[in-house]
Structures are given as C-alpha cells and as structure tokens.
Amino acid sequence: MAILAVAARLLGSNSASCLVLAAWHASASSKNLKDILADLIVKEQARIKTFRQQHGKKVVGQITGICFRGFSIPEYQKLLPKTKGGENPYPGAYFGWQAALPSHVVTMLDNFPTNPHPCLSPLQPWQP
C-alpha cells in the first residue's frame, strides 16, 4: 500500500490504480512490484512533463467566482444562521445547511423500529 501512496504522490494524482493494473499485468516477469512501479512512474512522469510543456499555457476556462448550491459566498453568508449578535455564520452552518430530505429517506427513517436494541440506538447511551 505504501508503494501505491508513493506512486500517487509522484504522479501528483490519486489515480495510482492505473499503475497498479499495469504493474499487475507486467508482474509475470521476474521483476518485483517495486521495480515494475519504478519503471512505470518514470515513464508516466516523462509523459506528464511533455504534456505540461505542450499544453501548460493554454487557458481552458476562466473562474469568475465560487458558488455553493447556486449562491455566491456573500449571498450564502447572508442566508446561513448566525450566532446571537454575530456577523458571521456558525462554522458548521456551511456544511449543515441542507435541502429537504428525499421522500424515500424520510420513509426509511419512519420505518425504523421505535425501540431498537440499545447498541443500535443513537438516542440511548450504551450500558454494560
């Protein structure tokens, strides 16, 4: 697993799975996985370097602002709940402000037993 993390870090991405797949196919040779990955990493780094040299200056799009659920940050800050007398929203409000639950989720929650085993109930503390 450490080899995968090194491969992903060296390639600058989290898609080391392609390397693993290639290494697995190449593992029929007498090389071990570490040597196979080392060869693949060097080749992939060269490919990425060439790509960056050819296309690194191209503008793909312009970012004009960051939006959360269709609102700009200032608009979002006005909508979120604030502390009493405060100007800024609660820190967790950015993550906790949700739309209504889908009906199938409400149905599922309504169908849970009213008195489950204590180990399964988030409302009752566990007692040995």
Arithmetic mean of pLDDT, 75-97: 79
pLDDT category at 43 given cuts 50, 70, 90 is: very high
Domain ranges of the chain: 2-55
- Look at residue 9 in the predicted model and tell me its pLDDT: 60
- Look at residue 125 in the predicted model and tell me its pLDDT: 56
Average pLDDT, the chain: 74
Identify residue 69 by its one-letter amino acid code: R
Statement: residue 81 has pLDDT above 70: yes
pLDDT category at 8 given cuts 50, 70, 90 is: low
- Look at residue 16 in the predicted model and tell me its pLDDT: 53
d(CA 28, CA 103): 52
Question: What is the rounded radius of gyration, in angstroms, for the C-alpha atoms of the chain?
Answer: 25
